[in-house]
Structures are given as structure tokens and as C-alpha cells.
């Protein structure tokens, strides 16, 4: 891709800040990003490879053991059965860790 001239860059930067159609603004942002030093690399996700593990092996074993041997009532909750949301709250309370998912209503899921 050919590098943009300063006048073109300035024009696109002003365009992005103007009240326009969101899709047009996104296209202008992509053009600006591609023009930067790293080009296409700029658009790639910064997180590559395996995601960071939030719980260690021992903590995961504790979770499995807890689910297998205890009901939520045993731990002070009102429910007799584990749900994803309830388990997520317990993990957050016990280990100070939160997993998020775009598909979970409670936004907390077990790995």
C-alpha cells in the first residue's frame, strides 16, 4: 500500500472526528492504521497464542472437588444446585478471578 500524504492523513483524521456514518468512520480508521509504520500488523490482535491462565492447577482442582462434593447450600448459598452464574460468583469470591464471556448472561464462566 502506498503511504498517504500528510494532507490526506489530516483529512482522514478530521473525517473520523466528524459526525458521520459509523461504517464510514471505521473504514477511515482502517486506512489510517494501515498507513502507520507496521501496516497490516497494526490490525492483528495484540493477544496471540494461548490466553493467560487465571487459575493455577491446584485452584482448578479445588473447583472440581467443590462441584463434585459440595452443594452451594454447603457454602452458604440458597441454591441446591450449581449454575454457571453461581459458580462464577463463588470463584470470584474464593480466588478473586473473573472469567468473561460474550455468550454468558452473567458474564462469568468456568474454564
Whether 56 and 106 share a structural domain: yes
Per the domain annotation, does 1 fall within a domain? no
pLDDT category of residue 107 using cuts at 50, 70 and 90: very low
Whether 94 and 55 share a structural domain: yes
Whether 55 and 102 share a structural domain: yes
Q: What is the pLDDT of residues 15-66, one digit of tens each?
A: 888 887 888 888 888 888 788 766 666 556 666 666 678 899 999 999 999 9
Which pLDDT score, from 0 to 100, does residue 40 have? 62
What string of DSSP letters covers the chain? -PPPPHHHHHHHHHHHHSS--HHHHHHHHHHHHHHSTTGGGGTS-S--SSPPPSS-HHHHHHHHHHHHH--GGGGT-S-SS--HHHHHHHHHHHHS-----TT-TTS----
Q: Which domain holds residue 34?
A: 6-42
CA-to-CA distance for 46 and 58, rounded, in angstroms?
29
pTM, two decimal places:
0.48
Instruction: Report yes or no: 90 and 72 within 8 Å, Cβ to Cβ.
Output: yes
Q: What is the pLDDT of residues 64-95, one digit of tens each?
A: 999 999 999 999 999 999 988 888 899 999 99
Amino acid at each position: 500500500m502506498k503511504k498517504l500524504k500528510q494532507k490526506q492523513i489530516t483529512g482522514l483524521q478530521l473525517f473520523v472526528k466528524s459526525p458521520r456514518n459509523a461504517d464510514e468512520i471505521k473504514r477511515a480508521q482502517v486506512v489510517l492504521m494501515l498507513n502507520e509504520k507496521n501496516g497490516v500488523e497494526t490490525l492483528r490482535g495484540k493477544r496471540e497464542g494461548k490466553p493467560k491462565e487465571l487459575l493455577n492447577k491446584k485452584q482448578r482442582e479445588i473447583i472440581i472437588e467443590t462441584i463434585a462434593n459440595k452443594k452451594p447450600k454447603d457454602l452458604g448459598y440458597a441454591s441446591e444446585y450449581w449454575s454457571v452464574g453461581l459458580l462464577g460468583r463463588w470463584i470470584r469470591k474464593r480466588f478473586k478471578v473473573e472469567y468473561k464471556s460474550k455468550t454468558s448472561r452473567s458474564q462469568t464462566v468456568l474454564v
